[in-house]
Amino acid sequence: MSRQIAILPGDYIGPEIMGAGLKILAAAAKITGFDYETTTYPFGGSAIDATGEPLPASTLAGAQAADAILLAAIGGPKWDNAPQRPEQGLLAIRKALHLFANIRPTQVNPALVERSPLKTEIARDTDFVIVRELTSGIYFGEPRFLHDDEALDTMRYQRSEIERIIKAGFELAMQRRKHVTIVDKANVLATSKLWRKIANEIAPQYPAVTMDFEYVDAAAMKIVTHPTSFDVIVTENLFGDILSDEAATVTGSLGTIPSESRGVSGPSLYEPIHGSAPDIAGKGIADPLSMIHSITLMLRNSFQETATADLIEQAATATLHAGIMTPDLGGTATTDSMTDAIITEIQRK
């Protein structure tokens, strides 16, 4: 059975890293026999240019009908003052497909521990996951307005939205080191107080899991002082956005970290957590690792395709051990030369 993958390359470095990732997937699939088909759709700024909309109806329909969705990155200065921004398309696809659980792993690869901006003894063995609520909170709350002299955003959460994301965090912790940290601002925010209440109601259903609470400001500090103290962080939309860029940096570069956005049913969407990196677009130096890891996450979680995922990951790690990496990690490789080196490793197996 051929797996259907919807491909959304997006903008700036998006098509560069998507191209790299798909070349690597093709090389690995040829060896393992993983059977898949891709269909590419316009999305983000490039879709605005082509159709006037960041999320054309045909793109949404194609994504909805696929077995999994791969997105690279959207946005950039070209559309900063456009009537519609590319980012609206991203929020719209997350909402339309009910992708409420955004899983953002932070793992320090031993091959990259020296590349962390943190001291090696602090960064080493870091392995935690941020479970970010993705379809509610201040990103979506109403009312909202922007006037010349006043603006309003609303942070709103329903009990059902909090319950399902906290449960997703506990379920993930059951497969890991059984430690959940709820990150909030319950000393100030009403929504956070409701999160704590609901977390305390749900925790007894998972007696094997240890739960603690951390205020978001203190958690931001602890991510750089004691990153190994975390296993699963569960948090609301905006806090998760901010903390995940910070956490990614601990691994050496924002350009290495993937994510899965998961709904109740239907396809998951896999994408790097970073953006379209307009500052390096067109230079051929974008780090393809975030896209490669998004692909291996897809292979594991949507297709149970462990052999293909392992093959790609082992080849990527061998390439890093050989010192082949892009400038964000302190190396001199280009996107293409790193991709070719990984493919050579894949073919060596």
Q: Which residue is nearest to Mn ion (CB)?
A: 241
Nearest-approach distance from CB 322 to ligand NAD, in angstroms: 19
Q: Which is nearer to ligand NAD, 214 or 287 (CB)?
A: 287
Binding residues: 94, 104, 132, 217, 241, 245
- Whether 193 sits among the annotated catalytic residues: the reply is no
Among 35, 49, 80, 217, which one carries the catalytic annotation?
Answer: 217
Query: Which parts are annotated binding residues for substrate?
Result: 94, 104, 132, 217
* Active-site residue, 139 included: yes
| Binding flag, residue 90, ligand IPM (CB under 6 A) | yes
Residue 241, interface with ligand IPM (CB under 6 A)? Answer: yes
217 is catalytic: yes
Give the CA distances from residue 46 to residues 49, 71, 186, 282, in Å, rounded to whole numbers and listed in that order.
Answer: 5, 13, 40, 15
Given ligand NAD, ligand IPM, Mn ion, none, residue 328, with its beta carbon under 5 to 8 Å by kind, binds ligand NAD
Report the Cα–Cα distance between both ends of the chain, in Å, rounded.
25
Decide: 174 and 211 in contact? Cβ < 8 Å. no
| Token pair in block for residue 34 | 């993983």
Name residues contacting ligand IPM, limited to 50-79 (CB under 6 A): 75
Task: Decide: helix, strand or coil at residue 345.
Answer: helix
Torsion sign, CA atoms 253, 47, 259, 211:
positive
Stretch that binds ligand IPM, among 44-52, 84-92, 114-122, 169-177 (CB under 6 A): 84-92
Q: Residue 241 interacts with Mn ion (CB under 5 A)?
A: yes
Distance CA 50, CA 138 (A): 30
Active-site residue (options: 95, 185, 193, 222): 185
Measured from the CB atom, the residue of 180 and 289 that comes closer to ligand NAD is: 289
Cα atoms in the 13 Å half-sphere on the side-chain side of 276: 25
Binds ligand IPM by CB under 6 A, chosen from 6, 101, 234, 273: 273
Task: Give the Cα separation of 347 and 340 in Å (integer).
Answer: 11
**Number of residues binding to ligand IPM, judged by CB under 6 A:** 7
Strands (E), the chain: 3-10, 36-40, 68-73, 101-107, 127-133, 141-146, 151-154, 179-184, 210-215, 232-235, 258-262, 268-272
- Cis peptide bond N-terminal to 272, omega within 30: no
For the CB of residue 19, give the shortest distance to ligand NAD in the complex, in Å: 13
Report the alpha-carbon distance of residue 203 to residue 194 in Å, rounded.
Answer: 14
Binding status of residue 133 toward Mn ion by CB under 5 A = no
Which entry of 11, 67, 231, 241 is annotated as an active-site residue? 241
Binding to ligand IPM by residue 153, rule CB under 6 A?
no
**Residue 340 makes contact with Mn ion by CB under 5 A:** no
Whole-angstrom distance, CA of residue 181 vs CA of residue 215: 10
Q: Which residues are catalytic?
A: 139, 185, 217, 241, 245
Site of interaction with Mn ion (CB under 5 A):
241
Site of interaction with ligand IPM (CB under 6 A):
75, 87, 90-91, 241, 273, 275
